[in-house]
Structure formats: structure tokens, C-alpha cells
Amino acid sequence: MFDEKKSIYAKNISPFAQAGGIYLLMLVFNVFSYLASFTEIFLIKQGAPWVIFTSFILFYALINCILSIATKERNLYWLHSIISYVALGIIGGSTAWLISGLTMDEAGSYRWILIVFTFGYLLLLSIVRAMWKIVQIAQKQDKRLRGEE
């Protein structure tokens, strides 16, 4: 399925697959925290699923931006990334709500955290895209200076 010799930065992994993997990790952590809340060993608060949700949304944003470097079709990747982010937010938020029994507002200031992460994600995507374009221009100039083009 994957070429073993390729770097993770050179693999073209779909944003939907990334979001699915992140959601599965989020679900594992939520189930663990839910089960751990019944023991006296761990002191788990009722709002813990919202902490897990926001943590994994940020993790998705970072991973997605890093893996966007390898893509060939930038616009399609961007579209799929944003759709995946929104879907992960809706599904992950619903899961946190179902497990905790608290809405986002009842759990704390997670709405503002999510807004900040969303703007940060869009900004980071833009920065990565701009960096990629600058590197492309520099490589083109380098080829011209060496007389290859």
C-alpha cells in the first residue's frame, strides 16, 4: 500500500483518511477516559471528552498541514482538508457531547478554543501553501541560473 522507502513527507495521504485516523484515536481516548472515570485511580472530570476533542482537532490541523507538502493538487487538497476538518469537528464534538452529557458551552470555554484553533488551522494552511510556492519559485530560479531551463 505504501512505498517503504518514501519519507512521510513524500506520501500523499488523503485528508479524509487523516481525519478518520484522528477520529479513531479520539474515540479510543474518550472510551478510555470514560472507563477510567469509574475507577478511583484516575480523577476524570465530566468535561474530559471536550478536552480530548479540542486536543485532537489541533493534532489534525498540525498533521494535515505537514502532510499537505507532499500533495500535487493543492486546491483539491485544500478543499478536502477543510471539509475533513469540519466533519471531524461535527462528529468529534457530537461524540464528546454524547460521552460527557455536556454541551460545548456547559463544559467550559471550548467554543472559543475551537474558534481559535480553526483560524489558526486556516492560517497555517495558508503559510504552508505560501512556503511551497516560494520554494517552487526558488527552484525555478536555480534551474535558470544553472542553465537547465
Q: What cell numbers appear for 5 in the block?
A: 522507502
Average pLDDT over the chain, rounded to whole? Answer: 88
**CA–CA separation, 52 and 74 (whole Å):** 30
> Which of the 8 DSSP states describes residue 8?
G
**CA–CA separation, 44 and 34 (whole Å):** 8
* pTM of the predicted structure, to 2 decimals: 0.84
Identify the pLDDT of residue 4.
63
What residues in the chain have per-residue pLDDT under 50? 1
CA 129, 88, 95 angle in degrees (round to 5)? 160
**CA–CA separation, 119 and 106 (whole Å):** 23
Q: What cell numbers appear for 119 in the block?
A: 483560524
Identify the pLDDT of residue 53.
95
Contacting residues for 123 by C-beta, under 8 A, at least 6 apart: none
